[in-house]
Structure 1
Amino acid sequence: MRFPFTALPLLALAACTTGPDYRGPETARPATPGAQFARASGDTGPQAPAAAAWWTALNDPVLDTLETRALAANPGVAAAEARMRQARASLRSERANALPSTNASALYVHATVPGLDLNDSGDSDQSGGGSESLNFYNLGFDASWEADLWGGKRRGVEAARAQLDAAQADVADAQVSLTAEIAQAYVHLRDRQQRIALARDALARQREMLRLTEQRHAQGTASALDVERQRHLAEQADAALPPLAAERDGYLNALATLAGEAPGALDGMLAAPSKAIVPLPPAQVAVGDPAELLKRRPDVRAAERRFAAATAKIGVAEAARFPSISFMGLIGIGGTSPGDLVDFDKLAAIAMPRLSWSFLDFGRNAARVGQAEGARDEAAAHYRQAVLDALRDGEDALSRFGNGRLSVASAARSKASADRTAALTRQRFEAGAATRIQLLDAERQSLSAAQSLSQATAAMTADYIALQKALGLGWR
């Protein structure tokens, strides 16, 4: 068998691929590889953190259960996964478009041809001027295939593959956002529950101080002004409870809906324990370097993959400017009677090569190429913005987390001082050197310091969670 050398030009053309080759964005490589974040402190480690399940470092089994349930049932993640399946199907479609298409067909044609007469037997009579009815039956197959001379279909597959990668990164990004939202809502819930318990204890002491002051006023040892001052403080303490309760209920509802449940469905699981404790972050936090961050952040990866897809689509538009060659083949059996459908002697086969070229399109193809190049430049700009946003998020989160640690340390010192004051006042009260009102006031101030410490701790843990989100952690 001799090789058809006339096919060599077609094979050479089939190896061509129009459009620019994607080589990756330049900004994907930081100017100082291996450099630490500017805001990193001694409490952050240079090693790269693990991508998933960062919340387990908070050592809270209820939070772990919430995260697992939310990742399995959250509608937002489910929608992102559905878009990923759409992108996967689009990739299969683009791959199939490069292959021949085959169809089976069955045909019946009834035609009445004027100018011919039919005799009594139904055969045509060429001598008259009437009409003739013709029947035609056919069973067959047809196949068509367009040669990918300029690589347009290959670029289409390349673009679809990049879009699938972007959709997978979007799923990871949805998981990152969800795990951070769950953890932050849970931390704030525990803070509100703890502060409500402390506020109730402080209110009880303030009311006791009011009662004692009223007794002293009745005995003539306290003025009406003293009573009104204590009543004002009691009303203030009482007024602080409803806003905390409203915020607690809001976080309960948020956690339920994030987990894919109706509001109130998780109230039993999230009820305040005997002593609500705000989860604490670990002593050291691994942040890695900016280069690792850009590789790990799903939103950055999604933007980079969309940049790659937009670059490949330029090749699709470029290929449409050149001639295309397609091949069609038909094969079938049939005739003028149904019996001809099983007569293999009446086999017909047709092969039809076709060349088409829209060279005179008045700039339409050039405009499509220009649109594709503009879309590529837009995707490149979005990628650069995603990189800058990621680096800024990391720096901001590190700064807030570091300063949050300082706030907690200050609040803890204040709480320790208030506790010592309360203990000394109790000793003086037991020795008869201090009144009960003074003791209650010292205990109230200790409870107030405990509320401030809880608030500062919750803010610091929330900053830790924001840092995990900024680092692109929490996806599976």
Structure 2
Amino acid sequence: MKPLIKTAPTLLAAALLSACSLAPTYQRPSAPVADAYPQDTAGAAARTSVTLPASAASAVDTGWRSFFADTRLQQLIAAALEHNRDLRTAVLRMDEARALYDVQSADRLPNLNASASVARAKTPAFLSSSGHSTVGKRYDAGLAISAFELDFFGRVKSLSDAALASYLATEEARQAAQISLVAQVAQAYYTERAYAEQLALAQQTYAARSRTYQLTQQRAEVGASSRLDLRSAETLMETARAAALSLARQRAQAENALTLLVGQNQPSTSTSGALPDQRQLDAMSALPAGLPSELLARRPDIRAAEQRLKAATANIGAARAAFFPRISLTTSLGSSSPSLGGLFDSGSGSWSFAPQLSLPIFDAGRNRANLSLAETRKNIAVADYEKTIQTAFREVADALAARDYLGEQVQAQNSIVEAQADRLKLLQLRFEQGIASSLDVLDAQRELFSAQQTLVQVRQQRSGSAVDLYRALGGGLQP
């Protein structure tokens, strides 16, 4: 037995340093997307309206404080990053995965335990060599390694690699959650600001139509206006009032959604800034799109999917190693004595060495089924990785299309508002001169109000598209 004890350190070193791995060699799947984002001739004119400066930084290098100029929005994003419960859960998931990795990686090293024990046993007379019953005592103390697996075939290493990849995937998922939260807060803020602008327009319109209704009512009392004119003016006034009430409700709900994202009650946003103007939107949209292949390094959700694929690949190695012998080692070194006082006396040393070999012979197909399961899960991870890339490609392409078209749409809608305002002014002059009817004026007021509301909606959509492009390109991590 002594030669075996002498070789124990050698066996341990061999297990720790030279364990092979039966996992397949990891190869990143090719990205199942085109080499460039889609371009179309229909949007060529629109693309010329957004000039990308040569010095424009990538989204990854642009912190959200630099991207969003609104001070109030910056405060909301900072508060959300600190208090949002979904993000807090993502951080805790990361801590959970890190702890699981630490637990799994601990199996690659032997666990050394100190132990001390005492045992009393009675031997009956007919079994005692002296013919008398005896009571024996034994004291033991020492160090022991219990059931340490010598990882010659890399089973424990593969499990540790899988746990590490899962932890890294969780870390990437936390970063993806942070980027998504920044974008969601910005979208919710711009939505609330759009409702605020629409509400202000509705209130102004209601006030103007109330004055028109009162004037028409006075004219009707003296016979200068018909009952039809009075009812038409009343209809427009009440329509504006109903629109204002609806927008007030929508704005309140948008504020509630923003509070949920931030994670704590915030002061009212009634004094916050307006939607970004055309110059700010052009600056926000002037982010170079780059190439689809660059998304692999930019987007944390893609990196997370790749880490999950690596974990699935490592689990195949653990499933393959289950077909081979499993060697475990239990050993101890210490001192034993029949009395407590002589426990550490000279000559009381003791040791034990118990290697164990386990070779699967018949398991009713369990190991083969586990290997098939690991391979299937790896194929699922490949499909998930490819779908994540395709989704990211689509999000960037959609954001680019929105950048191209919404800029032109804002300009076109702004022209409509200016034309409708001028039309209303001309009709009012004609009405005062008795050339146009009051119905023409009321119709022009209605169309101007509708055009103004649509302009605010399109501006809000363009603000959202700039945020979508920023998020889709992987921005939002840096403060």
TM-score, normalised on structure 2? Answer: 0.86
Structure 1 residue 166, shift from structure 2 partner: 0.7
How far 1:76 moved relative to its partner?
Answer: 0.9
1:106-125 deviation digits (Å, cap 9, x = unpaired): 112122223359xxxxxx78
Q: How does 1:371-410 map to 2 (within 5 A)?
A: 371-410=373-412
Aligned with 2:341: secondary structure? Answer: helix
Amino acid at match of 1:127: G
Cα gap change, 1:326 to 1:53, in 2 (>3 Å): same
- CA-CA distance at 1:463 after TM superposition: 1.9
Matched, 1:171 2:181: no
Structure-1 residue corresponding to 2:3 = none
1:319 to 318, 321, 324: 321
- The Cα offsets for residues 139-187 of structure 1, whole Å up to 9 and x where unpaired, read as 1110243222112222222212211221111011111211111011100
- The counterpart of 2:27, out of the listed 6, 23, 26, is 23
Aligned length: 455
Q: What one-letter code is carried by the residue in structure 2 that aligns with 1:397?
A: A
Q: Which residue of 2 aligns with 1:127?
A: 131
% identical equivalent positions? 34
The residue identity in structure 2 corresponding to 1:380 is V
CA distance in 1, matches of 2:300, 2:275: 32
Matches within 5 A, 1:141-152: 141-144=143-146, 145-152=148-155
The equivalent position to 2:157 in structure 1, one of 154, 165, 174, is 154
Q: CA RMSD in A?
A: 3.1
Q: Provide the rounded CA distance (Å) in 1 between the counterparts of 2:444 and 2:30.
A: 62
Q: In the alignment, residue 324 of structure 2 is paired with which amino acid?
A: F
Amino acid aligned to 1:90: L
CA distance in 1, matches of 2:211, 2:276: 29
CA distance in structure 2 between the aligned counterparts of 1:115 and 1:318, rounded to whole angstroms: 56
Conserved 8 A contact 2:275-2:460 = no
- Note the 1:274-293 alignment, pairs <5 A: 276-278=274-276, 280-283=280-283, 284-293=286-295
**Letter in structure 1 aligned against 2:306:** E
Partner Cα separation in structure 1 for residue 372 and residue 37 of structure 2: 41
Are residue 239 (structure 1) and residue 242 (structure 2) matched? yes
Which AA in structure 2 matches 1:411? Q
Distance 1:61 1:305 in 2: 37
The corresponding residue for 1:38 is 39
1:276, distance to aligned residue in structure 2 (A): 3.9
Q: Distance in 1 between matches of 2:442 and 2:398?
A: 42
AA at the equivalent of 2:118: Y
- Partner of 1:98: helix, strand, or coil? coil
Q: Please, which of 86, 95, 115 is the counterpart of residue 96 of structure 2?
A: 86
Cα–Cα, structure 1 residues 11 and 341, in superposed 2: closer, same or farther, change >3 Å? closer
Structure 1 residue aligned with 2:121, among 108, 111, 134?
111
What's the TM-score once normalised by structure 1's chain length? 0.86
- Map residues 33-72 of structure 1 onto 2, 5 A cutoff: 35-38=36-39, 41-42=47-48, 43=50, 45=52, 49-51=58-60, 53-54=63-64, 56-72=66-82
Residues 125 and 357 (structure 1), Cα distance of their counterparts in 2 relative to 1, 3 Å cut: closer
CA separation of 1:14 and 1:57: change in aligned 2, threshold 3 A: closer
Contact 1:333 1:344 in 2 (8 A): no
SS, match of residue 469 in structure 2? helix
Deviation at 1:98, TM superposition (A): 0.8
The aligned runs of 1:149-298 (5 Å cut-off) are 149-261=152-264, 265-268=265-268, 270-273=269-272, 276-278=274-276, 280-283=280-283, 284-298=286-300
